[in-house]
Amino acid sequence: MPDECVAALQPAPGSTILDGTFGGGGHSSLLAMRVAPGGRVIGLDRDEGAVERSQTVIDRLAVEHPQAAAAMTVYCASYHQIDRALAAEELTGVDGILLDLGLSSDQLADRTRGFSFSVDAPLDLRFDTSSGEPASRLLVRLSEKEIADVIYQYGEERFSRRIARRIVERRRERQFIETTTELANLVRRCVPRSRNHDIDPATRTFQALRIAVNDELGILEKTLRQATNWLNPGGRIAVISFHSLEDRIVKNQFRDAPQLEVITRKPLRPSDAEVHANPRARSAKLRIAEKLRVAEKP
């Protein structure tokens, strides 16, 4: 939803926008063209690979839009660490914050971390491989009940108990799950395939483990609680979520924050044309809020 995101944040020359999920740099590039000259786009990403690739994005942008390229800076950090980026840039606030909570194409194409189970890869699922534990280790450490709870709560998988039981049975046989293929095949044997065949039976389990490994919902909640501290008065925050758990958190946090005015009573959805061109966009929901220019809501 590139056009919708740009419109949501209302970037103007001289303004400062923070892209908390830099990814492939698509949103940041569009925003940089709007804030130049004189403005800044600060990108953050937990994924070291995304940060390393950001220079290529900036160099490509510099060919046609040198002022926009000069406006971009990218840091390796999670979006709940926005205060660190602000300190590094000697800023007290920004005019806009964008969070695109979906996986980037580069992450899905990475064969070393298992974000896509269409290829055999280590069952890692971490955005930042320098910290935390991979999903394969999580499945060794957690009890059967804890595994079932993770898969049910974060993946909304009805067959979570069956999946957890089978994982633990394999564990007792010293057959630890180390790869995406091993887990995907196990889940497929536990979950009846839906009639429409649109979604692989393993999708919800992989989603759940990825959320758990990266503490995605906890970090999202923490970030949204602090968002008003980082926004200048009149500044906006826009969040694209991809499943109901994320969207519920965004909706509730926007509603309950006394210094935010909700711009989107109902989330914006991608156009039919975008969904046709990029089927992964079909579940995207964009919510927008603006920091009030006065202390509290009337």
- Secondary structure of 68-135 as H, E, C letters: HHHCEEEEECCHHHHHHHHHHCCCCCEEEEEEECCCCHHHHHCCCCCCCCCCCCECCCCCCCCCCCCH
Give me the mean pLDDT over the 112-133 stretch.
87
- Domains contained in the chain, CATH given: 2-100+216-291 (3.40.50.150), 110-214 (1.10.150.170)
Instruction: Name the maximum alpha-carbon separation found in the chain.
Output: 63
In this prediction, residue 119 carries a pLDDT of 85
Give me the mean pLDDT over the 130-136 stretch.
90
Q: What is the pTM of this model?
A: 0.90
- Which of 171-185, 197-211, 283-297 ranks highest by mean pLDDT? 171-185
Confidence band for 234, pLDDT divided at 50, 70 and 90:
very high
Number of DSSP helices (H) and strands (E) in the chain, helices first: 14, 7
Instruction: Using the predicted structure, report yes or no on whether residue 298 has a pLDDT greater than 70.
Output: no
In 189-259, DSSP assigns E strands to: 231-241
Q: Is 153 annotated as a binding residue?
A: no
Q: Is 27 annotated as a binding residue?
A: yes
Instruction: Using the predicted structure, report yes or no on whether residue 184 has a pLDDT greater than 90.
Output: yes
Instruction: Give percent above pLDDT 90 in the chain.
Output: 81
Euclidean distance between CA atoms 111 and 118, whole angstroms: 10
Euclidean distance between CA atoms 74 and 227, whole angstroms: 19
Euclidean distance between CA atoms 262 and 34, whole angstroms: 23
Across the chain, what does the average pLDDT equal?
92
In this prediction, residue 122 carries a pLDDT of 93
Instruction: Using the predicted structure, report yes or no on whether residue 49 has a pLDDT greater than 70.
Output: yes
Confidence band for 192, pLDDT divided at 50, 70 and 90:
confident
Instruction: Give percent above pLDDT 70 in the chain.
Output: 96
Q: Are 1 and 284 contacting, i.e. CB atoms less than 8 angstroms apart?
A: yes
Q: Are 150 and 216 contacting, i.e. CB atoms less than 8 angstroms apart?
A: no
In this prediction, residue 199 carries a pLDDT of 81
Q: Is 253 annotated as a binding residue?
A: no
Q: Is 19 annotated as a binding residue?
A: no
> HSE on the CB side for 107, CA within 13 Å?
23
Give me the mean pLDDT over the 232-243 stretch.
96
Q: Is 39 annotated as a binding residue?
A: no
> HSE on the CB side for 161, CA within 13 Å?
1
In this prediction, residue 195 carries a pLDDT of 58
Q: Is 79 annotated as a binding residue?
A: yes
Give me the mean pLDDT over the 78-100 stretch.
95
Query: Who has greater pLDDT, 61 or 197?
Result: 61
Q: Is 45 annotated as a binding residue?
A: yes
Query: Who has greater pLDDT, 190 or 193?
Result: 190
In this prediction, residue 118 carries a pLDDT of 82
86-100, 103-117, 248-262: lowest mean pLDDT where? 103-117
Give me the mean pLDDT over the 223-228 stretch.
95
